[in-house]
Each structure stands twice: as C-alpha cells, then as structure tokens.
A = this chain, B = another copy of it.
Amino acid sequence: MAAPQKAHAKKKFMEFLGGKSLRITSQRQAIIDTVFNTEEHFTAEQLLEWSRKLDKSVSRATVYRTLPLLTESGLVHEMDFGKDCKVYDPNYADHPNHNHIICQDCEKIVEFDSEKIEQLEGEISHRLGFSVKTHRLQITGSCDELKKLGACKKKSSC
C-alpha cells in the first residue's frame, strides 16, 4: 500500500528536468519522491515537512523553487481553495481533467471526472468565441459524515 505509486509520473518529471538540463540533486529527489508517493493534496509547508523525513537537508527555499517546476511540467497543479496558501494536487497525470468537490466543514476533497460537463464546457466556450485550454470546477458542500453524525472534524492546513 505504501510502495512507490505514480512511478510513471515520477519518470516523466525526471525527463522534464533532464530536457531542461536541470539536475537531480538529493534534495530534489526527496521532494519528487514525496510528491509522487501521495494521492493527497499538499501545501508548500507540508511538502517541506514530508520531504525532510526523507532528507533532512531539504530547505524551504528549495521546496519553493521546485514547486514551479512541478507545475510547469503539468504533473502537479496549483489549486486555490480560498485559503491563504496554495495547495498542490499531484493527481493530474492519471486524471488530467478531474474536478473537485470539497466539504465545507471537514475540507475533505473528492475528485471526479465528468465527460458530460467537459463537453458542455467546450460547447459553451465555443459559442462565446473561446477555445478551451484549461478548466477548473470546484464544488463545495456538506459531506455525508456531517449529515449522518451531525458534524465532521474540521481540518486546516494554513
């Protein structure tokens, strides 16, 4: 269950680095291993913390310098959930068009795909004279847990 997931994405990112003659240092390796070993969204601060478990020498600056590379590669997306800090989503290699639904109470995030919505987006955009490059759909609401148990535990990342 903990074995290296997203091996494909990791490899792709290494190639991305190579293509720009950027080096794979031990710090970057730790960051990459962390990113492509989780399905969870994370903040810069969390990534720092997690990466340091693999390599104590990872600094905040290096995390902040690596994040733009990850997003530029398209394998990680920068998200905004209305918090003060940015959140990063490592699941775009598998599901390049996925959407998010977030519980307003516990901040649980569920990802889903919808071809129908995608298609409608395309039609409407075309009608308005746009050709679609990216789309981002976020729904917020209450999750089952809240309805059943009366409350779901709050979380907060930054």
- The contact size tier of chain A is 20 to 34
In angstroms, Cα B132 to Cα A143, docked, is 9
In angstroms, Cα B64 to Cα A81, docked, is 20
A104 engages B128 (CB within 8 Å): no
The answer to whether A135 has its CB under 8 Å from any CB of chain B is yes
Residues of B with C-beta under 8 A to A124: 101, 112, 114, 117
A window 60-104: CB within 8 A of B? 78, 80, 82, 101, 103-104
The answer to whether A110 has its CB under 8 Å from any CB of chain B is yes
The answer to whether A22 has its CB under 8 Å from any CB of chain B is no
In angstroms, Cα B140 to Cα A144, docked, is 32
A142 engages B121 (CB within 8 Å): no
Residues of B with C-beta under 8 A to A134: 139-141
The answer to whether A3 has its CB under 8 Å from any CB of chain B is no
A104 engages B133 (CB within 8 Å): yes
In angstroms, Cα B129 to Cα A101, docked, is 10
| Given A82-B78, A135-B139, A137-B137, A101-B128 contact (CB < 8 Å) | yes
The answer to whether A131 has its CB under 8 Å from any CB of chain B is yes
Nearest CB in chain B: distance from A49 CB, A: 24
A window 111-158: CB within 8 A of B? 112, 114, 116-117, 120-121, 124-125, 128-144, 147
- Chain A contacts to B: CB under 8 angstroms: 78, 80, 82, 101, 103-104, 110, 112, 114, 116-117, 120-121, 124-125, 128-144, 147
